[in-house]
Chains A and B, each alone.
Chain A
């Protein structure tokens, strides 16, 4: 059965349908939550909350986008809300249009394999609104248009947050690899 068929079945009273949906997608949601929350326990809580919300909202799923896209949307919102409550206010602002041109000299190459712990550390330190885009694209490998739909922002914003996020990661990684702490 497709995801949409499972949604239909669930709404029609099939109690196993939702469990099947959850089995299919919980790893995906958990992976996203880990990257967004930065802590395993928070990611577990977030994953549970995503599926509880899904349960309550499934009758509002309009099928304008693929179920997976909609699921990511719910998951992103849950992570945002939890981060906000945890005290890390996502800085959603209009500053995307004011980004400085990336200084190419600031970017140094690094080996992906040896830098893995640093990559995770740097990713966790990215501002939330950049991290979500970087994770959805570079980790989850979604298209710009899907990310725009998930986050309810224009594609231009996706592009700019992605390039800005990558740049900040490159700078942070360079600092981490050379033993400097990234300035707060």
Chain B
């Protein structure tokens, strides 16, 4: 067959790469030997392949490697928490019932806390780096990316316990009040999403609808705004691509509402 008909580009690729079965390979070789068209296509693919193989391999610097090692070491260290800072004075305490909302795909905790709160016990290092998982809000959204944390600005630390409490309330809310049609198909409970956050283990419940995931922050913000300025921590669940029903959540992303100057801090205790 193959020796009579032109080879498809796909089969020529497989021929070039030694990925054709033995029997097909022999007839393909025989055809190519006598076919200028297939020969030219094969040469073209081969030239591209050679050019790609000749590319120099990018090599990270020692500083890059050290920075990755540090990030992993930090993640391996127990007691890592995700905090927010804010300059304004808020009513103390957590108003979970009014402040929690749930929109398909997003677990949202709104946390308010007094500025006089003491830093979390054992906090020794404050990193103001924003993780690569941080996503700029879509244009037109009422969300916006926080400005960088300026040196010397007073910080309000929301502790892991605050997050745990908010997430616990969120779980309850979710279990009792969430009936939105269309999300149920994808409803899952992920208790491991915040497993790296001390004090928040097994306390995050999240629903998500993969089809809506990229738009969720837009949906989420109006639902929880309620005319009250507040810290808003949005744990937006994402999925790996290509998406499939069996994908697990694998990233944690944090968003904050605009209006206030706020930032996201990784605080390492120890």
Contacts and interface: CB of A to CB of B under 8 A. Distances in A.
A71 interface: no
Range, interface on chain A: 35 or more
Interface stretch (B83-91, B179-187, B236-244): B236-244
Contacts of A31: 57-59
A1 interface: no
B48 interface: yes
B237 to A, nearest CB: 12
A51 B250 CA distance: 12
B240 A46 contact: no
A107 interface: yes
A8 interface: no
Interface in A105-121: 105, 107-110, 112-113, 115-116, 119-120
Interface of B is mostly: helix
Contact of B12 (A84, A135, A163): A163
Interface of B: 8-14, 17, 19, 37-38, 40-41, 43-45, 47-60, 64-65, 67-69, 71-73, 75-76, 131-133, 135, 192, 195-196, 214, 238, 240-242, 244, 248, 250-251
Interface of A: 15, 18-19, 22-23, 26-27, 30-31, 34-35, 40, 43-49, 51-53, 55-57, 60, 77, 80-82, 84-85, 90, 92, 99, 101-102, 104-105, 107-110, 112-113, 115-116, 119-120, 123, 134-135, 137-139, 141, 143-144, 151-153, 156, 159-160, 162-164, 166-167, 169-170, 173
